[in-house]
Amino acid sequence: MKRNYPFLVGVTGGLGSGKSTVCSFLVEMGCGLFEADRVAKELQLHDPEVIEGVKSLFGEDVYSFDLSGSLVLDRKKISAAVFSSTEKLAALNRLIHPKVGDAFRQAVLDAEKLKTRILVKEAAILFESGGSRLFDVVVVVAADMEQRIERAVQKGMGTREEIMQRIAMQWPQEKLIEKADYVLLNEGSLEQLKKETEALHVKLLARASLTCDCF
């Protein structure tokens, strides 16, 4: 029996793999998108319960106000703390992920109303959080380690050493690939990645037509 809501696709991958680029291509092709990391960042600035929890974990001074009076979070300080302490990282995830989950469930309802064919969720720790079971398909974007490090450094995400430390705290890419339904290898040009994403999109539409009554 077909469902009445969108075909749900999880897109994940390690730091610097290019999962955000793949998601941007899928949006161009008509998919809806829920960015888990962006929602998590918004919660840290606008949700009172999350703000208090972050202060308890990392100290009052991680927050300040800019010249316009808007709340600002010292993300570099938090990154340094969580990527040197698995306990801090786990505590932060426990604080934020349930609320991100609530937001995603609302996004699914909204997509159903809009008759969105495919809803994509981009999440860095889709398998680690146990959230992969919610999806019809999980796509892993993978790339050579050196390419990943170089991309992350170029994006200003930290020094080479900091990037390597962050990658070391994530699941190994090989483990993600083992669990994936589809793998996009992002080691060539942007044009090549887009073509591979287009081919993936065709496959997703075909599977969605068999699963969801949303056309």
CATH number for the domain spanning 53: value is: 3.40.50.300
Q: pLDDT confidence of 1, banded at 50, 70, 90?
A: low
Q: What is the mean pLDDT of the chain?
A: 93
Residue 16, sorted as left (phi over 0), alpha (psi -120 to 50) or beta, turns out to be: left
Residue 66, in any domain of the structure: yes
**Token couple for 166:** 């962050």
Which one-letter amino acid corresponds to residue 193? Answer: L
Lowest mean pLDDT among 43-52, 67-76, 154-163: 154-163
| More confidently predicted of 157 and 195 | 195
- Split at pLDDT 50, 70, 90, the class of 79 is confident
Number of structural domains (the chain) is 1
- Does the structure show a pLDDT above 80 at 66? yes
Which one is predicted more confidently, 213 or 28?
28
pLDDT (average), residues 66-88? 90
Q: Is residue 71 part of a domain?
A: yes
Q: Judge whether 56 lies within some domain.
A: yes
44 pLDDT higher than 80: yes
Beta strand segments in 50-126, E: 63-65, 71-73, 118-122
Amino acid at 104: F
The answer, yes or no, to whether residue 178 has pLDDT greater than 70, is yes
Residue 97 lies in a domain: yes
Asked if residue 78 has pLDDT above 80, the reply is yes
| Position 162 in a domain | yes
**Tell me: the pLDDT tens digits for 193-214?**
999 999 999 999 999 988 877 5
CA–CA dist 143, 145 (Å, integer): 6
85 falls within a domain: yes
Is 210 a domain residue?
Answer: no
The residues, any chain, with a CB within 8 Å of residue 190's CB and separated by 6 or more, are 21
- The token duo for 14 is 């390690």
Confidence of residue 3 (pLDDT cuts 50, 70, 90): low
Domain that holds residue 161: 7-203
Identify how many contiguous H helices and E strands the chain contains and give both numbers: 9, 7
Q: Is residue 4 predicted with pLDDT exceeding 80?
A: no
Q: What is the pLDDT of residues 117-131, one digit of tens each?
A: 999 999 998 998 888
> What pLDDT does residue 176 have?
96
Strands in 67-212 per DSSP E: 71-73, 118-122, 137-142, 182-185
* pLDDT score at 214: 52
Taking 80 as the threshold, does the pLDDT of residue 132 lie above it?
Answer: yes
Q: Find, among 43, 69, 12, 1, the residue nearest to 210 by Cα.
A: 1
CB 92 within 8 A of CB 57: yes
In the 8-state DSSP scheme, what is residue 155? T
Who has greater pLDDT, 156 or 34? 34
Residue 215 placed within a domain: no
Contact 203, 137 (CB under 8 A): no
Please report, rounded to a whole number, the percentage of residues in the chain having pLDDT higher than 70.
97
Strand, helix or coil at 61? Answer: helix
